[in-house]
């Protein structure tokens, strides 16, 4: 446990020195505030407070931004150490490879959590101040922050997996970009094409919701939609959310970090310094 914490502290100092924590926080604050004010127009027609509309907008933002930030911070966790020639020194410490990976994960997740808490929290506070906030919208904001952190954890572990499989940091960056594109963009486009071809058949009615929730990005979105009537109203995903049991999206999203970390650890064990 002491070794794991020591690695986490070292990684956190590196993040602070590289100004990564500051940049991630500024990005989250700016985008969250921009979406909060840009998306405040429908509040009157929908009959919901400004914070509810803001949470729905920030849910869409987090689907794209949380995986991107997580992959940006994790893609060179192993490949970068190899390119710099520091992996051998890191592995010479009295710590197992699992502890090394866990220490990096803890520091990176803490940085992501800080950026999301400040970004979404500040935007939520502004929305509540100018447009009011009910108990349900405050709960939805807290859920958004928590699930965004979990989504970031998923893509951190996938970034470690890519970094362990890549031959260099440059290759890891390209693979991470492809991974983000597949999970966040192409996956949904493929499902949309399948639904159009199916024309309301068995795939659309029975298989499509389960295939959709298997993607961590979609599971994150569905979890936030299904748990809040106000967010569901403003997001337009009520049908898919109602077709699945309440436990499906949370279970999928919570399982992904463990599966990703196990795969990353197995790949890291094969990396030679």
Q: Give dist(CA 118, CA 212) in Å, integer.
A: 30
Overall average pLDDT of the 190-197 stretch: 89
| Neighbouring C-beta atoms of residue 136, cutoff 10 Å | 18
State the pLDDT confidence band at 70, using cuts at 50, 70 and 90: very high
Quote the pLDDT of residue 234. 47
User: What is residue 95's DSSP assignment?
Assistant: S
Q: Give dist(CA 214, CA 11) in Å, integer.
A: 31
Structure tokens at 156: 């951190």
Locate tokens 């996956």: which residue?
A: 187
- For the segment 126-135, what is each residue's pLDDT rounded down to a tens digit? 877 776 667 7
Structure tokens at 264: 């990353």
Residues 6 or more apart whose CB falls under 8 angstroms from that of 115 comprise 21, 24, 25, 27, 28, 69
- For the segment 234-268, what is each residue's pLDDT rounded down to a tens digit? 445 556 667 788 889 999 999 999 999 999 999 99
Q: Give dist(CA 138, CA 230) in Å, integer.
A: 11
Domain boundaries, the chain: 3-269
Q: Report CA-CA distances (Å) from 127 to 36, 39, 264, 268.
A: 7, 10, 39, 44
Quote the pLDDT of residue 136. 79
């Amino acid at each position: 446990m002491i070794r794991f914490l020591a690695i986490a502290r070292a990684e956190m100092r590196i993040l602070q020195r590289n100004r990564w924590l500051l940049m991630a926080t500024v990005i989250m604050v700016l985008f969250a505030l921009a979406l909060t004010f840009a998306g405040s127009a429908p509040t009157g027609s929908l009959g919901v407070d400004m914070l509810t509309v803001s949470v729905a907008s920030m849910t869409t933002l987090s689907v794209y931004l949380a995986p991107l930030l997580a992959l940006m911070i994790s893609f060179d966790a192993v490949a970068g150490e190899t390119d710099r020639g520091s992996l051998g020194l890191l592995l010479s410490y009295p710590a197992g490879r699992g502890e090394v990976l866990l220490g990096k994960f803890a520091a990176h997740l803490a940085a992501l959590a800080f950026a999301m808490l400040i970004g979404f929290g500040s935007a939520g506070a502004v929305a509540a101040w100018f447009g009011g906030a009910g108990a349900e919208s405050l709960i939805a904001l807290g859920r958004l922050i928590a699930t965004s952190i979990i989504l970031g954890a998923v893509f951190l572990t996938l970034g470690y997996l890519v970094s362990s499989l890549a031959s260099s940091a440059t290759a890891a960056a390209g693979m991470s970009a492809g991974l983000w594109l597949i999970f966040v963009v192409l996956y949904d486009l493929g499902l949309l094409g399948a639904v159009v071809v199916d024309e309301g058949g068995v795939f659309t009615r029975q298989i499509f919701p389960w295939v959709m929730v298997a993607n961590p990005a979609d599971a994150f979105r569905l979890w936030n939609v299904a748990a809040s009537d106000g967010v569901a109203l403003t997001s337009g995903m009520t049908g898919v959310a109602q077709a699945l049991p309440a436990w499906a999206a949370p279970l999928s999203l919570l399982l992904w970090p463990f599966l990703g970390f196990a795969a990353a650890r197995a790949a890291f064990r094969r990396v030679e310094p």
